[in-house]
Structure 1
Amino acid sequence: MSWFDESRLDDERALTGIDLRLRTLAESGARVRREAGDADEAIAQVVARSEDQARPRAVIAAGPDSRLLRAVLEPWCPVPFVAWPGQALPGWAGSLDLVVVLAPDGGDAGTASAVAEAVRRGCQVVVACPSSSIVADHAAGRWTTQLPTTTGDQLATAVVMLNYLHQIGLGPSAPPEEVAESLDAVATACSPHRDLAVNPAKMLAIALADANPLVWGGSVLAARAARRVAESVRRSSGRTALAGDAEHLLPVIEATRPRDVFDDPFSDDGGELRPMLLVLDDGADDPVLRQHRSRLLGAADERGVRVEHLTAETGCEVARYASLMLSGTYAAEYLRLGLVEV
């Protein structure tokens, strides 16, 4: 059994215990800048070479991290785009196609196998991975370009690849500096040195302390950020945290017992963890999204379910995604800090 001690969120001694994790979060922007700077020369070379080549028939994102590229590229890419997270490639993939691979640590054997198959089939291959890794070893080939990475950071590695795809006209603009600045802004706002009265992550942690969060993001990228935030909450607290589309979350909200102001908070029934709706808003707006948001908020109001918001409305869509994900991760770490076993 655990209870939440919010005084720990401003306790310097307690904060020292999670200093390494908070420092890792605070360095997110620096990792994006480092990866982008290290890959600049390699990107310039592959972009120059692509000027003499025809536009690929299709783009295939291979490996387990391909879903992030799909979330960004699928609505934008001017040629067919396929995310292929397995250990092989689609049977039709060949020399007319571009295969892009994110391998932040370079040690996944399945990703190495997919890269080797792409090389064998004569595909144009661009892989972001550490230079000394099994993925890099399997990527050697005439039509292969390696974008060197060193930090093992999934987001930073994705930004490097998206920067390359934008420069060859196959992806939207995702300037690394813009993404890094967005991450820096979150790190400043959520710093452990800012007390909970003005710290959005600490305030969200307090809201999460007595709830089972339902995390919703309306756009494709906000929905992906919602899944990552829910994962962070589960890891930090061991509690239920569900991310999903509106049709998945609505039944949970509608099944919630209406709040009774006369409940005894110390009784077994009155002290249960109630759902809390956490809305991730990246500024996307369309009629379907508005309808889903209205249904969720209406159901939450009817059942007395608390609603919290995380917003990111400036910068490119990748910068907004990064901001939402990092804000939620900070809140999860403060939640971990405040929970005390009894």
Structure 2
Amino acid sequence: MPHSEEAGLAGVTGDRHADPERLDGPQEASNRPGGALWALAAAGPQLREVAHFAAEAGLGVLAQEGRPRAVVVAGVGTAARTGDILQTVAGPRCPVPVMAHRSAGIPGWVGAADVVLAVSASGRSPEALAAAEAAARRGARLVAIGAPDSPLQSLAERARAVFVPVPRTAPARMSLWGLTVPVLLAARELGLVRLAEADIAETARRLDEDAERCRGEADSFVNPAKELAMNLAGTIPVVWGGSPLAGVAARRFGDMLAANSRYPVIAGELGEAGRGRVGLLDGVFGSLTRQSNDIFADPLEGDEQPTRLRIVLFRDDGLEGDDSVPLPDSRRADAVEKLAEERGIHCDVFKAEGGCSLERLASLIAFPDFTSVYLALAHNLDPMSVPAVSDMKDHIHSGSRQ
């Protein structure tokens, strides 16, 4: 993986207060190859390139043995998120269970009737390698997806399994689309999803357009990613999705805010949030913050403002005329908007756009990905370097040697 080229940021501990002026500068280092903005802007080309590699990998052999009993997508982090995306694109009427498995190995019930997709951006993830080994040992159909010339490719070749190479030019979290496309194309060969070549092309075009809108040279007043970044600065983001598809986008945004921006974030789907987490709106970071303000206090006295929640609501009202997927229930999303307004809590609402599930998902992921980078830059943080992650890996490895 290339080293970060965020000149002037590497090794900087950051600034507690976000400075909007940092977002409208030249940001030359961030746009150079190896930089965070460059990596996100390459999402469309990445999708097209990997679709080509997947077409040449021989995924068609999956159809020869017919429909599986179940599909397991094995991996961690971004790799596991591809399993969530497959579940969403396949929809509730998918004829077989689809499971995103985030632990080492595979579930005990997996056998010769099942398909295992082992996904790892580096090709070195212990979880993906253990899953691939177990799948081969039990006779399950195996597809391995990851970096070329990696241990995962070697394992797939020994098992005579399909391997889809995904060139690694950025951290795994910046390679979501490169990892997702092979998973979806494998599922298409198995008859689990309807994904036309036009759908892939339109999704890539959507990613290109959002990259242009969110480019570093675009000022904050025309760049939705910069605008949202400054709206979230100094808050506790609560990111909710109003449907299963929007819920995947919400959890992805939570991943990116935590890793790139180092912000604490609460993310999920409203189906579960509405059962209890919505109580946050009445807590000490919600409506109680407003109630506790002293109306006689001097607003110029001191520079500390109370930390408050800021809701980001992703909505997907579905595709009219698509009988394969029932239209989402929008009542919870409507209710959250109203509850936030009643309590004086800011709520940013973004609606999915596009003619297929994959494009609609991309419309809710692309610019929030940029937002996470801009929020990091506003705090003078390097979004490509996450020291705590590296330190945690070092502690784990050192502990295993003792």
How many residues are matched? Answer: 336
For structure 1, the residue ranges without an aligned partner over 5 or more in a row are none
Per mean C-alpha deviation after superposition, the further-off stretch among 105-114 and 284-293 is 284-293
Q: Which of 269, 279, 292 is matched with 1:251 structurally?
A: 279
Seen in structure 2, the aligned counterparts of structure 1 residues 272 and 143 have a Cα distance that, compared at 3 Å, is same
One-letter amino acid of the structure 1 residue matched with residue 209 of structure 2: A
Q: State the distance in 2 between where 1:243 and 1:21 align.
A: 23
Per mean C-alpha deviation after superposition, the further-off stretch among 180-189 and 141-150 is 141-150
Q: Match of 1:167?
A: 189
Q: Which of 81, 90, 113 is matched with 1:96 structurally?
A: 113
Q: Match of 1:58?
A: 70
Query: Is the CA contact 2:318–2:328 (under 8 Å) kept in the aligned structure 1?
Result: no
2:119 paired with 1:106:
no
Q: Match of 1:10?
A: 24
Q: State the distance in 2 between where 1:142 and 1:242 align.
A: 41
Seen in structure 2, the aligned counterparts of structure 1 residues 67 and 6 have a Cα distance that, compared at 3 Å, is closer
For structure 2, the residue ranges without an aligned partner over 5 or more in a row are 1-14, 320-325, 382-402
Displacement of 1:51 after TM fit?
4.7
Q: State the distance in 2 between where 1:74 and 1:83 align.
A: 14
Give the 4+ runs in structure 1 shifted more than 6 A.
285-288
Q: Match of 2:136?
A: 119
Backbone CA RMSD of aligned residues: 2.7
Q: State the distance in 2 between where 1:34 and 1:300 align.
A: 42
Report the secondary structure of 2:99's partner residue.
strand
Query: Is the CA contact 2:203–2:358 (under 8 Å) kept in the aligned structure 1?
Result: yes
Q: State the distance in 2 between where 1:116 and 1:11 align.
A: 49
One-letter amino acid of the structure 2 residue matched with residue 297 of structure 1: E
Q: State the distance in 1 between where 2:23 and 2:146 align.
A: 37
Q: State the distance in 1 between where 2:299 and 2:308 align.
A: 12
Report the secondary structure of 1:309's partner residue.
strand
Per mean C-alpha deviation after superposition, the further-off stretch among 204-213 and 297-306 is 204-213
Q: Match of 1:329?
A: 369
Report the secondary structure of 2:313's partner residue.
strand
Q: Match of 2:97?
A: 80
Q: Which of 28, 47, 50 is matched with 2:43 structurally?
A: 28
Q: State the distance in 2 between where 1:148 and 1:76 align.
A: 30
Q: Match of 2:311?
A: 277
Percentage identity across paired residues of the two chains: 30
| Structure with a larger share of its residues in strand | 1
Q: State the distance in 2 between where 1:3 and 1:90 align.
A: 45
Report the secondary structure of 1:140's partner residue.
helix
Per mean C-alpha deviation after superposition, the further-off stretch among 315-324 and 183-192 is 315-324
Seen in structure 2, the aligned counterparts of structure 1 residues 295 and 74 have a Cα distance that, compared at 3 Å, is same
Per mean C-alpha deviation after superposition, the further-off stretch among 284-293 and 218-227 is 284-293
Deviations along 1:261-280, one digit per CA (max 9) or x if unpaired, are 95644456971121111111
Q: State the distance in 1 between where 2:346 and 2:207 align.
A: 27
Seen in structure 2, the aligned counterparts of structure 1 residues 56 and 339 have a Cα distance that, compared at 3 Å, is closer
Displacement of 1:315 after TM fit?
3.6
Seen in structure 2, the aligned counterparts of structure 1 residues 114 and 2 have a Cα distance that, compared at 3 Å, is closer
Q: Which of 83, 104, 109 is matched with 1:69 structurally?
A: 83
Query: Is the CA contact 1:160–1:176 (under 8 Å) kept in the aligned structure 2?
Result: no
TM-score w.r.t. the length of structure 2 is 0.75
One-letter amino acid of the structure 1 residue matched with residue 331 of structure 2: Q
Displacement of 1:61 after TM fit?
2.0
Query: Is the CA contact 1:98–1:125 (under 8 Å) kept in the aligned structure 2?
Result: yes
Seen in structure 2, the aligned counterparts of structure 1 residues 266 and 109 have a Cα distance that, compared at 3 Å, is same
TM-score w.r.t. the length of structure 1 is 0.87
